[in-house]
Amino acid sequence: MRKQLLRSLELGSAPQFQWTYEPSSKLKLTNYDSAYATDFAYWVDDAAALYKEANEVLGNLRNHPITEHERVQNGVVRVTYSGGASILINYTDDPVTIDGITVGGADYAAEGVNR
């Protein structure tokens, strides 16, 4: 789930899920056999929290285009929006410091974003 949030923040998009009402075991030997853990009851609370966090960061940026997307170092990305807001995303397990900003492992730092 954390990686999904980081990827959503990098792309400026809402997280997406594909769920079923029935247990995923009923998908065996169908065209959807590759889907697993799709029963919404297991995920809905975590997904709601993930959507909330993503919206807190991206909500006020929805009308601002991404002006720059850069790989700062291996596993670290900075996304800059018109107006100067930026999100520094760290996909690695270890904290990194970029331009004086420390971002924990598997975390992000948003600058100029009203949260």
Of the candidates 79, 74, 100, which has an alpha carbon nearest to the alpha carbon of residue 89? 79
Q: Residue 73 carries which side chain, given as an amino acid letter?
A: Q
pLDDT attached to residue 115? 54
Return per-residue pLDDT of the chain as tens, 115 residues. 899 999 999 999 988 877 777 777 777 777 777 666 777 777 889 989 999 999 999 999 989 999 999 999 999 999 999 999 999 999 999 999 999 999 999 999 999 876 5
Domains defined along the chain, listed by start: 2-60 (no CATH), 65-111 (2.60.40)
Taking CA atoms, 108 is separated from 15, 49, 73, 102, in Å, by 16, 16, 14, 9
pLDDT attached to residue 39? 72
Q: What is the pTM of this model?
A: 0.82
pLDDT attached to residue 43? 81
- Both tokens of 115, joined, read 């949260």
pLDDT attached to residue 36? 65
Q: Residue 13 carries which side chain, given as an amino acid letter?
A: S
Helix (H) or strand (E) holding 110: strand 107-111
pLDDT attached to residue 75? 98
